[in-house]
């Protein structure tokens, strides 16, 4: 059994964890919206057609923010198609994903769904086929109280109160050649800056996310991000970052490499931060642009065109990946990486929320939790507070694409107000458990409250509609003990762990 040591310090703060870090993404693609959250004909639907079983799991998972309506979809979307009486809404060919879009779910339905589920809406505007005019009109429709054309149109549609949406995305992945309305960096930055200026003139309280590069493998990565940050510095608050990982071969050798992808994720975060800070220096300003990682996940199925027999149909089964334990471990480690950069990573959206590369799946019989549901839920539930620096001494390994990969990975969140310390630990070792000693001498009068592990003998185990809990979080009552401020934990092989410590009331 391997051994490791973890040290942390309550005064070595990284930054406060923004609650919007626990966000997700909902795009008009496949069965994400239709049959995912909205299905009037379902036995689980409420009076508004919303699936109550899905909503219950979303609340259980702790989703704080949802980005909508895309994604690639937004780059050719006319928002006016999705408002007003349903019987008058047009049916469109949706070119990004080759779906048939009947627009029965749109802006008002999303805003209403967000309120009912306690979700902060994150609205994207079309900067592919449209631009400043459509964006300002949508903002007026959503946020202005009344007395203007578009605010009065919202009222006419049955929504007297403004939706008051305060978080907006300026397009999507605009450096991607696949994107409808694809542009070069200067062209996009110019349009984004013009759009941002007008939107903030209308509502100065909104926050804006400009498109960073679509991925670190893009030829435009870095230069694109710096150009956009420099040109839009005055108006934007965040630059987006997207990151997807896969383990297509799923062999043990590939699994060791796959579980190390958090290293690449961290390097991408550091690079985008560097671009934003370079832009601040060039603009001679103390303003700091933060990151919105508004698409990230494990993805397997290629994003190719749909088969001819289901193309141009409504809500086809599309990119419905089935996740296993190793995917849950990767998702947990990516969350931990964002915790460790909480000073600059303020928003994140797991892509997507339901059915399409998602933690939640549905059928006509009900909804169930995929393996990646659990690390998200535990991070959203216990990752509240201030992220602290932590240092681990442990053995390391080399893999196909990485060297010096630590077997043990840590993240620590301190919630002083509630007297709780959450220690997140991942063991990447596929063969051995690890005895971890954590030095917590600066946390006197604490006791172990709970040790939760997401693991198991079969790293390829999956959850299904028939067997819904093959992978889940399990309590390990004997997993951790605390003696004289030294926490001793047995961290099982290939597992994601949350160790909770609670401050005790002092007795006189």
Alpha-carbon radius of gyration of the chain:
23
- Note if 449 is an active site residue: no
In b/e form, how buried is each residue of 279-309, taking b as 16+ CB within 10 angstroms? bbeeeeeeeebbbbbbbbbbbbeeeeebeee
> Helix, strand or coil for residue 408?
strand
Residue of 27, 80, 295, 492 marked active site = 295
Residue of 173, 205, 267, 484 marked active site = 173
- Note if 432 is an active site residue: no
- Residue 401 and residue 255: Cα distance in Å, rounded? 12
For residue 334, report the phi and psi dihedrals to the nearest 5 degrees: -70, -40
Residues 6+ apart with CB under 8 A from 175: 182, 183, 184, 185, 188, 211, 213, 214, 218, 220, 224
Structure-block tokens of residue 34:
């239709």
DSSP string, 415-459: ETTTTEEEEEEEE--SS--EEEEEE-TTSTTEEEEEEEEE--S-T
Residues 6+ apart with CB under 8 A from 455: 325, 474, 492, 493, 494, 495, 496, 497
Collect contacts of 181-187 with beta carbons under 8 A, ≥24 apart.
181/75, 181/76, 181/126, 181/127, 181/128, 181/129, 182/128, 185/220, 185/223, 185/224, 185/227, 185/228, 186/227, 186/231
- Residue 355 and residue 400: Cα distance in Å, rounded? 31
- Residues serving a catalytic function are 173, 295
């Amino acid at each position: 059994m391997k051994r490791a040591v973890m040290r942390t310090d309550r005064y070595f703060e990284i930054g406060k964890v923004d609650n919007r870090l626990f966000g997700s993404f909902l795009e008009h693609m496949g069965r994400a919206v239709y049959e995912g959250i909205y299905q009037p004909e379902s036995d689980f639907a409420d009076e508004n057609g919303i699936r109550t079983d899905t909503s219950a799991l979303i609340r259980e998972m702790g989703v704080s923010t949802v980005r909508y309506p895309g994604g690639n979809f937004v780059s050719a979307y006319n928002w006016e198609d999705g408002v007003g009486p349903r019987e008058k809404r047009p049916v469109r060919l949706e070119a990004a994903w080759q779906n048939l879009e009947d627009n029965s779910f749109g802006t008002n339905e999303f805003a209403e769904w967000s309120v009912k589920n306690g979700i902060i809406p994150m609205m994207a505007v079309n900067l592919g086929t449209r631009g400043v005019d459509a964006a300002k009109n949508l903002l007026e429709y959503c946020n202005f109280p009344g007395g203007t054309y578009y605010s009065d149109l919202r009222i006419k549609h049955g929504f007297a109160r403004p939706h008051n949406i305060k978080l907006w995305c300026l397009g999507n992945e605009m450096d991607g050649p696949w994107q409808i309305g694809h542009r070069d960096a200067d062209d996009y930055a110019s349009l984004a800056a013009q759009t941002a200026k007008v939107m903030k003139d209308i509502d100065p309280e909104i926050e804006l996310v400009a498109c960073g590069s679509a991925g670190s493998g893009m030829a435009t990565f870095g230069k694109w991000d710096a150009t956009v940050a420099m040109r839009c510095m005055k108006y934007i608050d965040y630059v987006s970052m997207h990151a997807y990982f896969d383990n297509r071969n799923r062999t043990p050798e590939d699994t060791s490499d796959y579980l190390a992808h958090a290293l690449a994720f961290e390097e991408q975060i550091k690079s985008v931060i560097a671009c934003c800070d370079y832009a601040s220096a060039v603009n001679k300003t103390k303003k700091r642009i933060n990151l919105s990682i508004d698409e990230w996940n494990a993805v397997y199925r290629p994003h190719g065109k749909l088969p001819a027999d289901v193309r141009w149909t409504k809500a086809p089964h599309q990119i419905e990946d089935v996740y296993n334990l190793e995917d849950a471990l990767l998702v947990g480690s990516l969350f931990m990486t964002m915790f460790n950069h909480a000073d600059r990573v303020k928003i994140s959206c797991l892509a997507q929320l339901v059915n399409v590369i998602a933690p939640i799946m549905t059928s006509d019989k009900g909804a169930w939790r995929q393996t990646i549901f659990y690390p998200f839920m535990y991070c959203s539930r216990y990752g509240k507070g201030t992220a602290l620096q932590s240092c681990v001494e442990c053995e390391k390994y080399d893999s196909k694409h990485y060297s010096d990969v630590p077997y043990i990975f840590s993240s620590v969140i301190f919630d002083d107000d509630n007297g709780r310390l959450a220690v997140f630990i991942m063991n990447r070792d596929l063969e051995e458990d690890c005895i971890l000693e954590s030095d917590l001498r600066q946390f006197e009068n604490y006791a172990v409250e709970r040790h939760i592990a997401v693991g198991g003998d079969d790293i390829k185990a999956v959850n299904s509609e028939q067997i819904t809990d093959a992978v889940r979080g399990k309590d390990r009552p004997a997993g951790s003990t605390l003696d004289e401020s030294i926490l001793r934990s047995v961290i099982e092989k290939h597992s994601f762990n949350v160790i909770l410590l609670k401050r005790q009331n002092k007795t006189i």
